[in-house]
Amino acid sequence: MLIVIENLLTKDEVATLRTKLDGSGWLDGADTAGTRSVAVKQNLQLPRTDPLAQELGNAILRKLGQHPEFVSASLAEKIWPPVFNCYRDGGHYGTHSDAALMRLPEANLTVRSDLSATIFLTEPDDYDGGELLAETPFGAQAVKLAAGDMVLYPSSSLHQVTPVTRGQRVCAITWIQSAVPDADARALLYDLDCSIRALTPGKAKDDPDIDRLIHVYHNLLRKWAQV
């Protein structure tokens, strides 16, 4: 299941991020690839310990924590610090799968990757190629979003970034450990929460039907959550 969250970042927020990133010191992204992924990864990244990467990553984490659509879709328990990358001059990332367990030694933290997220920081007309291709039960889906938009997709899926043949594609990526690890259960909870939020406007604050749906939602969450 791919979920697109539009306008996670405003255009002004994207512009501020890009101004800072455009003057940053990109390094070869192959240094952070696994033993098999290194053969298919050609991009640039900011080191995780770079002060700028930490500053901008924390800003994105604050936005994620305040965004009701992200909270509902992910039920995030842990979030890997966002990684900033740049694809240009044919840069690409061939078909690969994300590591199931990701260790953050400086925080004594291990994150199980249930969901992967790509936050686009470049307008789609500014570069050619660079589509995120994620394999789903219904075939491969191509994603290329407006700057400030984010896509969530299963970390378990095979996916790739196609070569960028013009311009450059700048993104932030992160991985989420959900409080509900079962993807089918998480999707049902998301659909139920979307329905509750859609039905609530215009209803009385003590509407019994809304209260009953919220009751069902939280009992299902209580049943499926692992925290």
Whether residue 153 contacts residue 186, with contact meaning beta carbons closer than 8 Å, is answered with no
| Positive or negative torsion for Cα 46, 101, 31, 70 | negative
Instruction: Confirm whether residue 96 is marked as ligand binding.
Output: yes
Six-digit token string for 169: 């594609």
Torsion of CA 123, 124, 129, 133, to 10 degrees: 100
CB atoms within 10 A of CB 151: 19
Instruction: Confirm whether residue 169 is marked as ligand binding.
Output: yes
Instruction: Confirm whether residue 159 is marked as ligand binding.
Output: yes
Torsion of CA 135, 151, 192, 101, to 10 degrees: 70
Known binding residues: 96, 98, 159, 169
Known binding residues for 2-oxoglutarate: 169
Known binding residues for Fe cation: 96, 98, 159
